[in-house]
Structure 1
């Protein structure tokens, strides 16, 4: 243990002196001459990535949480003393006024294509941006969602902030935990799974490039909408009924509770023929578990238990 601790300290000292560093952020190469000291994160899952790396002292605030989500006790403690600079998406004026040197966000996670807050619009204010890997599909091609999307972000944040050893330790631990959670999963006949985020007239769901597809596959299922060439998107109910999911994964957040979403599906005659509804097979994931972040391993463990009764 002493040797490991000394090694970690030596690694930290070495990496802290290794600037400048360059990381790939979507289709850009971004170079940092020093670790950011006035960082802002957007959304609860990205903020957790910063906190789990021990970077709160390098942050001046966060955006995009209270407008949609309610923080649990762990997150409330984590962001204590940090101000929320915008309840939803920040404006360019808010960003410039806070004088950050770094923004951790993503496309549809604090930034919109063609919007007023983008890496290009922030650069003149001396604000460098790192983009969430899952979100890169909004600006160009990328591989289908995988657990590596989340690992990649943690490792890149480790490089940017000079905490590579901590990032590598976290990722190695998550991989080990994931392997243990999924070791007994029978993958010969993957369960058909539908992700229900929100919407009654038309459901908002996860496509090929959204994190739940990777979580479901890790747990031995297949997303029935994995041919949807998007991350998150609104679809019709017809393909859901036709593809007959055996399990429905509910994403829990916002004003409509998971229980209300389940009741809506169970009480609607239109869904009476769906296997998941007939057999009352629903698994609830919190928003922070279903989007890229440290709780993705919790999510897979929940899915394995819900799919296979483990």
Structure 2
């Protein structure tokens, strides 16, 4: 009997993802967008930019390897849970860090993305930091700004977690987080009907709407929740569109991203009162869903966004 129990326990351990993941062998080379980045050891003075990437680092248990984070208080609303996790961890820049900021903090690793702290031709890029000995890992979803790639997918988030796990030698924790996300998504998708309501994501903007095409994470979230992004034919990540385009595509549900100085309630009121949108089904039927910024961008909160959107779309 005891032997059977021991064999069962061993079988369960062997079946667990990452239960016996090999330790990272340095030097380690990982793919980052259209580059390969080599690490001679696990970083010890890491900086993460934006709340979503900072959340990933913290969830992987890497707080002790971080000198701080950037790009949060100047832009985003932080949930009470994340505020507790951030307590005591320095924010090196409220919006965009400079090269000098990184050098002064002795940063040896930057986790950022294109349009998430970096811009093509800007001062802070993998190319500008390489001569300074600061390797950069780019958020996978953001690679659409510098290379041709397929539509955004939850695999983008899984890839980032796994690559961070390898870089910092915490593969077991990375696999555990990925497994938990996959299990929750599977539960949602077991109950989805065949009908896919038309969905428009509204980030911000009045003259034009800031939204997301097929290359941004909202595309993956809406699809996984059983909806169809009305802008899924636009080869863009985060982008702006005219209100005429929204009216023509007539979304049945509008997802509002909650962050910044304008509240979600204020954004909804603006949409409801916009003269050009009165014929839109979502406006007529007052069908709105609100998700926080951290859930709309690649992060662990992607699963919660899928659950929230699916519940609104299908009443699940």
User: Normalized against structure 2, the TM-score is what?
Assistant: 0.93
Aligned equivalent of 1:279? 285
Find 2:129's aligned residue among 114, 122, 126: 122
Aligned equivalent of 2:251? 245
Aligned equivalent of 1:185? 192
Q: Matched residues in 2 for 1:73 and 1:125: separation? A: 36
Structure 1 unaligned blocks of 5 or more: none
Aligned equivalent of 1:36? 43
Aligned equivalent of 1:289? 295
Aligned equivalent of 2:309? 303
Q: Matched residues in 1 for 2:262 and 2:208: separation? A: 15
Q: Matched residues in 2 for 1:269 and 1:63: separation? A: 38
Q: Deviations over 1:36-57 (max 9, x none)?
A: 1110000000000101111111
Label 1:272 to 1:290 Cα distance change in 2 as closer, same or farther (>3 A): same
Q: Matched residues in 2 for 1:99 and 1:178: separation? A: 39
State whether structure 2 residue 88 is matched by structure 1 residue 81: yes
Aligned equivalent of 1:213? 219
CA shift, 1:136, in A, is 0.3
State whether structure 2 residue 60 is matched by structure 1 residue 53: yes
State whether structure 2 residue 236 is matched by structure 1 residue 230: yes
Aligned equivalent of 1:15? 23
CA shift, 1:268, in A, is 2.2
Aligned equivalent of 2:3? none
Number of aligned residue pairs: give it: 307
Q: Matched residues in 2 for 1:190 and 1:9: separation? A: 35
CA shift, 1:11, in A, is 3.4
CA shift, 1:269, in A, is 2.7
State whether structure 2 residue 103 is matched by structure 1 residue 96: yes
Q: Matched residues in 2 for 1:280 and 1:309: separation? A: 15
Structure 2 unaligned blocks of 5 or more: 1-7
Q: Matched residues in 1 for 2:229 and 2:242: separation? A: 16
Label 1:9 to 1:309 Cα distance change in 2 as closer, same or farther (>3 A): closer
Aligned equivalent of 1:109? 116
- What's the secondary structure of 2:96's corresponding residue? coil
- Indicate the RMSD between aligned Cα atoms, in angstroms: 1.7
Q: Deviations over 1:62-108 (max 9, x none)?
A: 01001111322211121222111111111111111111110000001
Q: Matched residues in 2 for 1:169 and 1:65: separation? A: 26
Find 1:265's aligned residue among 259, 267, 271: 271
- What's the secondary structure of 1:75's corresponding residue? helix
Aligned equivalent of 2:5? none
Find 2:261's aligned residue among 247, 255, 259: 255
Structure 1 residue runs of 4 or more that deviate by more than 2 Å after TM superposition: 1-12
User: Normalized against structure 1, the TM-score is what?
Assistant: 0.95
- What's the secondary structure of 2:20's corresponding residue? helix
